[in-house]
């Protein structure tokens, strides 16, 4: 194949990049809402009297809400398309965020975060379908890496704004940021988002893309389990990294939030790099296995970071955060390709469900671990989760996408 034909094969339309940009912005807005309670933990713990376990449970409410609706949103995207699933979901997230700004009752606040998480789940499965539908196979790793920037970018925005807003003007004003972001993106998606073209039906009697991929192969199940295990280091760092810097390393809230934001942004760029790597390697599962090995190693480094000289813990946290988020784009691309176009929304919803079941457990479980044994040993225990994922990564890719 000539260089010219190679370039022609991998060309991507400007509309595809526009749709990807809208999808990234939409999911980032939802992530700001979902991440907000995690960045309220220091304030809730130090000034409002909540234990780390209680504050961690409140932080887990949006992710638990997502668990309840991810597959349903994915099925709706398969059936009705991405545009209105994302638009309606963001509008409902805006309403839930608005409700959260009106109460000081922690139980009601938790319910608002739960309902908002249920609505914010709409962007996860549906925006993944946008990527797979608009981009060719040999550009999907890059595109999904960009799409997977949504989560760390949302966390970055939250880390840079929520602690300061909460400390200076109150919890309600901090949550109000999500009202503005999700409301604006709901309108943009309703006006500008375009569903990707659907593939033409195959001429075979039983098209392979209509077969239930869960009944014919263990590939998807293994990717789901691997991804759930890899969630533990990612959400441990995003949930407790800020309070670790403040309470254990003696940082002030503003520079600690800045470091968390920088870490999440670098992690977002890392997802793009890993996506490009998978495109060039022609494999999703090979890089995924190496990411699992690295995630275990960096959590062990976090366990030892407290004994390191000043400044080193910050560098270790930066590296650990970057590595811990690198797997998401690989796993999502792999799931979408293995599921086929008729099952992509449901499979991506199931993928997110497993991840957020694990994520919802991180707040209370790791919070209790930290309270019982301290940060170093808790980080070392978390390192066992990505280590357990290594032998579960499939040996080869599976792709029935069109």
Question: Which tokens sit at 133?
Answer: 């539908």
pLDDT for the residue numbered 4: 42
Cα(374)–Cα(257) distance, rounded to whole angstroms? 21
**Of 120, 106, 117, nearest to 55 (Cα)?**
106
pLDDT for the residue numbered 401: 59
- Residue 70 phi, psi (nearest 5): -60, -50
Tens digit of each residue's pLDDT (9 = 90 or more) over 167-191: 888 788 888 999 999 999 999 999 9
Cα(320)–Cα(293) distance, rounded to whole angstroms? 12
pLDDT for the residue numbered 313: 83
- pTM summary value: 0.73
Cα(211)–Cα(218) distance, rounded to whole angstroms? 14
Question: Which tokens sit at 248?
Answer: 């254990």
pLDDT for the residue numbered 182: 96
Tens digit of each residue's pLDDT (9 = 90 or more) over 8-39: 456 778 888 999 999 999 999 999 999 898 88
Ranges of the chain whose pLDDT falls below 50: 1-8, 201-206
pLDDT for the residue numbered 95: 96
């Amino acid at each position: 194949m000539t260089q010219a034909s190679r370039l022609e094969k991998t060309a991507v339309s400007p509309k595809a990049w526009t749709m990807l940009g809208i999808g990234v912005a939409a999911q980032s807005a939802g992530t700001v809402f979902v991440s907000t309670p995690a960045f309220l933990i220091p304030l809730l713990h130090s000034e409002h009297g909540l234990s780390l376990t209680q504050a961690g449970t409140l932080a887990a409410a949006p992710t638990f809400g997502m668990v309840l609706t991810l597959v349903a949103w994915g099925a709706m995207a398969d059936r009705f398309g991405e545009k209105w699933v994302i638009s309606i979901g963001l509008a409902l997230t805006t309403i839930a965020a608005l409700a959260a700004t009106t109460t000081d009752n922690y139980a009601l606040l938790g319910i608002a975060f739960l309902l908002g998480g249920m609505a914010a789940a709409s962007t996860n499965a549906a925006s993944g379908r946008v990527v797979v539908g608009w981009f060719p196979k040999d550009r999907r790793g890059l595109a999904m890496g960009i799409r997977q920037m949504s989560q760390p970018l949302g966390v970055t925005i939250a880390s840079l704004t929520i602690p300061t807003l909460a400390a200076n003007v109150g919890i309600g004003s901090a949550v109000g940021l999500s009202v503005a972001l999700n409301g604006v993106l709901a309108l943009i998606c309703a006006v500008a988002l375009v569903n990707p073209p659907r593939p033409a039906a195959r001429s075979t009697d039983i098209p392979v893309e209509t077969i239930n991929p869960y009944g014919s192969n263990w590939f998807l199940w293994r990717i789901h389990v691997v991804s759930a295990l890899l969630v533990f280091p990612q959400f441990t760092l995003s949930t407790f990294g800020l309070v670790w810097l403040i309470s254990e390393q003696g940082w002030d809230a503003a520079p600690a939030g800045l470091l968390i934001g920088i870490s999440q942004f670098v992690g977002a760029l890392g997802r793009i790099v890993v996506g490009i790597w998978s495109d060039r390697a022609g494999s999703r599962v090979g890089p995924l296995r190496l990411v699992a090995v690295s995630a275990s190693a960096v959590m062990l480094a976090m366990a030892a970071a407290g004994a390191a000289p000043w400044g080193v813990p910050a560098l270790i946290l930066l590296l650990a955060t970057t590595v811990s988020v690198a797997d998401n784009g690989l796993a999502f691309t792999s799931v979408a390709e293995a599921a086929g176009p008729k099952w992509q929304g449901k499979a991506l919803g199931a993928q997110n469900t497993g991840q957020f079941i694990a994520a919802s457990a991180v707040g209370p479980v790791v919070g209790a671990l930290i309270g019982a044994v301290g940060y170093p040993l808790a980080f070392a225990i978390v390192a066992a989760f990505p280590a357990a994922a290594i032998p579960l990564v499939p040996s080869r890719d599976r792709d029935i996408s069109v």
